[in-house]
Amino acid sequence: MFPASRYSIQAQRCIRALKTVQAEHAPSQHYTWGRNCSSAVMPRITSHYTIFPRDKDPRWEGVEMERFADEADVVIVGGGPAGLSAAIRLKQLAKEQEKELRVCLVEKASQIGAHTLSGACLEPSALNELFPDWKERGAPLNTPVTEDLFSILTEKYRIPVPMLPGLPMNNHGNYIVRLGHFVHWLGEQAEELGVEIYPGYAAAEVLFHEDGSVKGIATNDVGIAKDGSPKDVFERGMELHAKVTLFGEGCHGHLAKQLYRQFNLRENCEPQTYAIGLKELWVIDEKKWRPGRVEHSVGWPLNRNTYGGSFLYHLNEGEPLVALGFVVGLDYTNPYLSPFREFQRWKHHPFVAKTLEGGDRIAYGARALNEGGYQCLPKVTFPGGMLIGCSPGFMNVPKIKGTHTAMKSGMLAAEAIFPKVTAEDPASETAGLHIPEYEDNLKKSWIWKELYAVRNIRPSFHNYFGLYGGMIYTGVFYWILRGKEPWTLKHAGLDSAQLKPAKECTPIEYPKPDGKLSFDLLSSVALSGTNHEGDQPPHLTLKDDSIPVANNLAIYDGPEQRFCPAGVYEYVPLETGEGMRLQINAQNCVHCKTCDIKDPSQNINWVVPEGSGGPAYNGL
């Protein structure tokens, strides 16, 4: 649990008050269900109330559903770089102007930083603005970049590419960090300023005023059995109301998805496109350790038409640590591709293996990331709320960096909010404050200039020559013209629509893991510290339980078995021996959101599990 500060006493009392409420429960009932698929009866998979409403379920009759409510000036969803930077900046402004301001932040992880995963090579521009004295404050930026290597890999060889000044991947002046540790440090700074932080409480629902503006959020209920019935220990979540609510859930947030639809925020932009990033932490032979070295590569094991690449960063954390990872664009077309197994195969390249041989792998994780950039930015303000950070998608893809832009977006949001929420008469037409100044300020900031300049690099890979055509385009139009070309290229469309039918593709034969450099999936997930309460409805919900077998398995040979980096989805024989069924191992989920993005049927809807569930990353 994130340590409570003296500023959180009021908030902690609210939580304790909530826990004293005793709910009444209807007796548990046997609940059977089935759908026909061909001649077989498919067992029920989904039991979540978002698919099967409780007001139509007799097992919930008589259960007390009233929620405790609390008020704040600003509520922030998500304890990542964006949310914490917004919270810090709000309290800085309140302190400077001697104003009272209550800021509450909820985070689904058990402690701040436990769900954070990134490379990460941090550009300190936003941090310099937020805390000019960050070195004196002990920010964990221990490894300045000293060496930059970029390579094109073939199966056996490495082709070095010069890292010219001005190219987006040049890391001069940046720091290699363990982002979870950096985020934890931000959390400490926020609490010192008086921000109320609630780790272990997942925001499960957006609340609305009668006029349609956002009122706040509700945290998740607890004490629901796997079959969807109430347990004896059932407790309703709590409501947090605010003048304005910031949504900083990270990439592909499940509440942001609802807000896109509610307010039509994506009306004037392209669909977002994504990648999956997989990461490991290793302790290597000290003789091979080069603190401050940054290595990136493209090419093998991916073909030229599959976007992706790798990173290998040498940390200076008191022991010979390296952070390494592999990124695969989720617009790939072959349903037989497994991002996890491509990652494991990449480690056997001679240039990579020589660093890892004799070392020990100590951590693993995965997370989706936004790749759409400028073309895919939605409207970020609406009555009662705002989108910040990686939720709308401010990542600079060619730089492979989004922390600095996420932090800056949170700071800009705070600076737009503060005068409104502290004004005696905010002059708002809705109960929830609408603050369009945030979006105006974004468009005037260095975030907008930065994303506009690189807008064509990612979509330029959609050509016959793929990777190599994109690299040529980058060299000509970015390095020479700095993104000033008078056109804007388009992305391919929804990642979920890019898979080809299995019959049109060649299966990929992956080598077996050797247990030294490459590993199997389940032993990898074990290193993520992932844990969920077993007796709860699966949070990987299906809109229609029959679609996985009828569509995904029949047409695409079950791609969710391969694109999931945690072994959540598998097809197993029916108990009758006739046909197959989808099994969801929700307890394995590392909250990467890939399934929600890449599912070709768009039938999977990721929702939050009980608070504190998920991975327990230590500085990933």
Q: Which residues pair with 106 in a beta bridge?
A: 77, 198
- How confident is the model at residue 548, as a pLDDT? 97
CB-based burial label for 247 (10 Å; 0-12, 13-18, 19+):
buried
- Pick the catalytic residue: 376, 458, 592, 594? 592
- Pick the catalytic residue: 102, 524, 589, 612? 589
- How confident is the model at residue 486, as a pLDDT? 92
CB count in 10 Å sphere of residue 424: 4
Cα–Cα distances in angstroms (integers) from residue 246 to residues 167, 388, 405, 538, 611, in the given order: 33, 7, 16, 27, 19
Q: Is 592 annotated as catalytic?
A: yes
Contacts of 72 (CB under 8 A, 6+ apart): 102, 103, 104, 196, 240, 241, 242
362 near 440, Cβ under 8 Å? no
368 near 391, Cβ under 8 Å? no
Q: Is 338 annotated as catalytic?
A: no
- Pick the catalytic residue: 118, 219, 297, 541? 118
Written as six digits, the tokens of 386 are 């705002």
pLDDT band of residue 192 (cuts 50, 70, 90) is: very high
Q: Across the chain, what does the average pLDDT equal?
A: 92
Q: Is 403 annotated as catalytic?
A: yes
Stated as kind and residue range, the H or E segment containing 82 is helix 81-96
Contacts of 607 (CB under 8 A, 6+ apart): 48, 50, 204, 254, 539, 541
- How confident is the model over 385-390, as a mean pLDDT? 98
The more confident residue out of 325 and 20 is 325
- How confident is the model over 95-101, as a mean pLDDT? 97
30 near 229, Cβ under 8 Å? no
- How confident is the model at residue 131, as a pLDDT? 98
428 pLDDT higher than 70: yes
Predicted TM-score (pTM) of the model is: 0.92
Give a three-class secondary structure readout of 272-284: CCEEEEEEEEEEC
Stated as kind and residue range, the H or E segment containing 451 is helix 446-453
Q: Is 118 annotated as catalytic?
A: yes
Amino acid (1-letter code) at residue 153: L
- How confident is the model at residue 265, as a pLDDT? 98
- How confident is the model over 54-64, as a mean pLDDT? 94
Give the rounded distance of the alpha carbon of 554 from its chain centre: 30
pLDDT band of residue 41 (cuts 50, 70, 90) is: low
- How confident is the model over 329-352, as a mean pLDDT? 98
Stated as kind and residue range, the H or E segment containing 415 is helix 403-421
- How confident is the model at residue 30, as a pLDDT? 32
513 near 344, Cβ under 8 Å? yes
Q: Is 367 annotated as catalytic?
A: yes
- How confident is the model at residue 42, as a pLDDT? 65
Angle at 195 between CA 442 and CA 144, to 5 degrees: 65
Query: Above pLDDT 90, what percent of the chain?
Result: 85
569 pLDDT higher than 70: yes
- How confident is the model over 461-473, as a mean pLDDT? 86
- How confident is the model at residue 463, as a pLDDT? 86
147 near 37, Cβ under 8 Å? no
Distance CA 130, CA 128 (A): 6
Q: Which of 240, 236, 201, 177 is nearest to 78 (CA)?
A: 201
- Pick the catalytic residue: 367, 458, 562, 581? 367
pLDDT band of residue 578 (cuts 50, 70, 90) is: confident
Contacts of 311 (CB under 8 A, 6+ apart): 119, 121, 294, 295, 296, 323, 324, 325, 327, 400
245 near 33, Cβ under 8 Å? no
- Pick the catalytic residue: 178, 409, 564, 581? 564
Query: Above pLDDT 70, what percent of the chain?
Result: 93
Distance CA 332, CA 309 (A): 13
Q: Is 595 annotated as catalytic?
A: yes
- How confident is the model at residue 298, as a pLDDT? 95
- Pick the catalytic residue: 14, 37, 104, 595? 595
26 pLDDT higher than 80: no
- Pick the catalytic residue: 403, 518, 524, 541? 403
pLDDT band of residue 37 (cuts 50, 70, 90) is: very low
The residue count for the chain: 620
Q: Is 251 annotated as catalytic?
A: no
Give the DSSP letter of residue 475.
Answer: I
